[in-house]
Amino acid sequence: AGEFVAPYVDTVEEDVEMILDLADVGVGDYLIDLGAGDGRFVIGAAQRGALAHGVELEPTLVDRARANAERVGVSDRTHFEVVYIFDADISMSAVVTIYLFPEANIALRPKLLAELAPGTRLVSNSFHMGDWTPDARAQGRTSGGALLWIIPANAAGIWRFTTPQGPARLTIEQRYQRIEARLEINGTRVPLESAVLHGDVIQCVAAGGTLALHGRISDTHLHGQLTLAG
């Protein structure tokens, strides 16, 4: 991945809250902050009832983060470690926060897409992810704002299933969370007016509402419901 070192920059408390709000962080979440600095995102998540883990390369900042967590009484819900962000285990997180330059974000992108489960919320303070369009944004008064992505499942390929009208084939082309879908039933093209992927959930609707498919992707299977008009 190369060696990326982001300079430590304080995030004002207002923007910490904005970013945690955008990610809808709360009780039951497990948040990992890659490049945790003095721990303010980790501590803010813990104060909302989440479990939170800070990854930071600078030992003095890790010591400061632990002291800050102890001072506000959230040591039992926080953990900080000295680890390079590209070596961190992020697979169990529900939310990942980052405050890195775009070059580091883009270098980190393959790891995020490969290791995070579909539906994981990824929030970047200020900086983009290259050609990966965010799902939502929030604008702060003192920063470049925040960008949110929902990790998509791998939906690309050909999905086959049966319907009362005969065998069906759903062909999907995918670029990050954006998909293009083509549906054929019994060899006849069914025009689709929308095809949306959100995490591991896919929804396709035919023109005129004559057909609706709502399903959840799990590895190589798509489980759900197909509704045909009439």
Write out the DSSP string of the chain.
-----PPP-PPPHHHHHHHHHHTT--TT-EEEEES-TTSHHHHHHHHTT-EEEEEES-HHHHHHHHHHHHHTT-GGGEEEEE--GGG---TT-SEEEE---HHHHHHHHHHHHHHSPTT-EEEEES---TT---SEEE--SSSS-EEEEEPPP---EEEEEEETTEEEEEEEEEETTEEEEEEEETTEEE-EEEEEEETTEEEEEEGGGSEEEEEEEETTEEEEEEEE--
Output the pLDDT for position 41: 96
pTM of the model: 0.92
Q: What pLDDT was estimated at residue 13? A: 77
Nearest to 123 by CA among 86, 94, 85, 103: 94
pLDDT < 70 positions in the chain:
1-11, 142-143, 230
Q: What was the pLDDT predicted at 230?
A: 64
Q: Give the contacts of 131 (CB within 8 A, at least 6 positions apart).
A: none
pLDDT for 1 equals 45
Q: In 3D, which of 18, 72, 63, 19 has the Cα closest to residue 43? A: 72
Nearest to 50 by CA among 73, 74, 69, 27: 27
The answer to whether residues 181 and 213 touch, using CB atoms and an 8 Å cutoff, is no
